[in-house]
Amino acid sequence: MIEQRTAIELSDGRELIYFDESTGVDRTKWPDTRRLPPPPPTSQLRYDPLVDEWVAVAAHRQTRTFLPPTDKCPLCPSTPDFASEIPAPDYDVVVFENQFPSFSDRVKPDEITQLTEMVPVRPGVGRAEVVCFTSDHTSSFGALSPARVRTVVDALADRTTEMSALPGVAQVFPFENRGIEIGVTLSHPHGQIYAYPMVPPRTTAMLAAARRHADRTGGRNLYADVLAAEQQAGIRVVGANEHWTAYVPAAARWPFEVQLAPNRHVLDIPALTNAERDAFAPLYLDILKRFDALFDKPMPYIAAWHQAVIGEGRELGYLHLQLFSIRRAADKLKFLAGSESAMGAFINDIVPEKAAQLLRDAI
């Protein structure tokens, strides 16, 4: 749980926030000693009229840090020999603006507004932040204590509240990528938070389905009904407690996919009660251990928090965490090939009921 929150400014003007589990630490006595260039301008959003979607173009991210040696990790605490993104010599949880942001509020004054009559362009105004879960470079989220997971959840709640209030933000999306198989470029345990300036495609599809369901059922929430059906069926439930249920979706797209949802209808992380925040940690840590135990090695995964949008359709949302891996066997990965990448039509190699059974039996 967060006992002290301290915000500082890095040498290039970006914000960094320490979330400490104890009080009395003067974080301001460790300033950023680096001489950094100004942050890059924000990305460009280009509209694709063929699918009614916006695509972000962020050319400055091509130069972002790629698998640095451990002693040059930008997410470790700073040392006398290396100044990292975190000036302090130690920390609990830290959040800071990404040096190579997908979205930000730094807009070029000469931003173009049209490529063709069919393709408008606008700045990718939003925010992109990095969340460091621990100062221990060799750790992982699954190795965190329940108390530290609670601190991370509280930090995500803090950032969701603040980022949701930014002008032009449509949805706040916290997530973690783990493993080089996923494409991770920094091995230090960390996640990210995107404040999207548009409603992303998956959320758009979920909102449309939720609206149709509400219209058919007199206003019932789609995700609540799906969760209730899974709880009743039981066959795909991997774990549960008083406040949360973890289950494999009946139409899972990924070889191993679990969704963790609060048993109560909650719109976003800030709306979770203290009891719900405490109860999340043991269940999620258990699921992560099962993922690693499946093939007796660290499982590459993506953990994605789906929260309600900020504007129209907010009431249709239902907070849940989607955890999935591209590993389908000990020595095999699922690549998004022709059907998935070109057509968005997923073909799963593992029956969801079998995946749920394997996860239940993993420990």
Catalytic residues: 190
List the one residue out of 198, 197, 49 whose CA is nearest residue 119: 49
Question: Is residue 156 within 8 Å of residue 305, measured between CB atoms?
Answer: yes
Question: Is residue 92 within 8 Å of residue 20, measured between CB atoms?
Answer: yes
Beta carbons within 8 Å of 145's beta carbon, 6+ residues apart: none
Question: Is residue 324 within 8 Å of residue 258, measured between CB atoms?
Answer: yes
Supply φ then ψ for residue 119, to 5 degrees. -125, 90
> What is the CA 283 to chain-centroid distance, rounded?
18
Length of the chain: 363
Q: Within the chain, what is the greatest distance between any pair of CA atoms? A: 63
Supply φ then ψ for residue 155, to 5 degrees. -65, -40
Please count the CA atoms within 13 angstroms of the CA of 321 that sit on its side-chain side.
Answer: 24
